[in-house]
């Protein structure tokens, strides 16, 4: 029993340390979201049972419409709720289960709801891409939307995955942007954000390696000059002069 208690304490310590690191890493990003209007600045603040203040009444809330399978794993309300409280922003960040068939109607009614915007997770990212009024450059290139906000009466869709990848890499590997050649393993949805980030960082040669070469070829065609597709057997040779492996 004592060993189990020590293990539990260790897990709590690791979780706390991770949360503190997440707080530091997300500070600038969350503050930027607040400026953009994803989090509202109006409404009466009242403490809930957990001690974190949330907005009620006329407050507009940030909103996250995730898949019914993914929503249970989301820790976004915990992270964003912490920063709303820290900055005294009158709003709340909630998670809501929206079935795929209901998502288009939900998106269409977002402007008349109490929500100021929010984040989108699987499987709704491509549907959100189709349903917004306007998309930022990252969303256009990646082909998916994971962030929603209103601007000038229009529902804007953005994608923060490329930014998140770049910011994390800059934190753990300063100077990575000085490279020229990169190798990306895999050709799924995450690869799109990574390729976009690497291109924006100035890499001129990006080699996409995938077991199914057709999928790698689709990405090479999508991202254009400098991006090439390769099968798995070519990996050793491709790595010989690569500056970055993802």
Catalytic residue among 125, 154, 200, 205: 125
Among 201, 211, 218, smallest CA distance to 234 is for 211
CA–CA distance, 205 with 4 (Å, rounded to integer)? 51
Q: Alpha helix locations (H) across the chain?
A: 2-36, 76-86, 103-108, 125-131, 137-142, 161-172, 189-200, 213-223, 235-239
- Read off the DSSP letter of residue 70: T
- Read off the DSSP letter of residue 144: -
Query: Would you call 142 exposed, middle or buried from its count of C-beta atoms within 10 A (0-12, 13-18, 19+)?
Result: buried
Question: Catalytic annotation on 154?
Answer: no
CA–CA distance, 58 with 85 (Å, rounded to integer)? 17
CA 110 to chain CA centroid, Å, is: 20
Enumerate the active-site residues.
125
């Amino acid at each position: 029993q004592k060993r189990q208690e020590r293990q539990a304490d260790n897990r709590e310590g690791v979780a706390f340390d991770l949360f503190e690191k997440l707080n530091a890493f997300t500070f600038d990003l969350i503050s930027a979201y607040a400026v953009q209007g994803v989090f509202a600045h109006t409404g009466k603040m009242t403490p809930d049972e957990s001690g974190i203040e949330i907005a009620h009444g006329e407050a507009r809330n940030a909103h996250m419409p995730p898949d019914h399978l993914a929503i249970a794993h989301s820790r976004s309300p915990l992270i964003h709720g912490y920063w709303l409280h820290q900055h005294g922003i009158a709003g709340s960040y909630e998670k809501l289960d929206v079935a795929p068939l209901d998502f288009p109607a939900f998106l269409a009614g977002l402007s008349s709801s109490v929500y100021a915007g929010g984040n989108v997770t699987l499987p709704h990212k491509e549907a959100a891409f189709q349903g917004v009024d306007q998309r930022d450059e990252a969303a256009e290139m990646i082909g998916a939307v994971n962030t929603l906000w209103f601007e000038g009466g229009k529902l804007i869709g953005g994608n923060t995955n490329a930014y998140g990848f770049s910011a994390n890499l800059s934190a753990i590997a300063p100077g990575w942007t000085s490279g020229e050649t990169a190798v990306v393993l895999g050709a799924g949805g995450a690869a799109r954000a990574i390729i976009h980030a690497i291109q924006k960082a100035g890499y001129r040669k990006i080699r996409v390696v995938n077991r199914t070469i057709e999928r790698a070829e689709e990405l090479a065609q999508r991202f254009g000059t400098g991006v090439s597709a390769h099968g798995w057997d070519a990996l050793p040779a491709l790595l010989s002069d690569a500056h970055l492996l993802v």
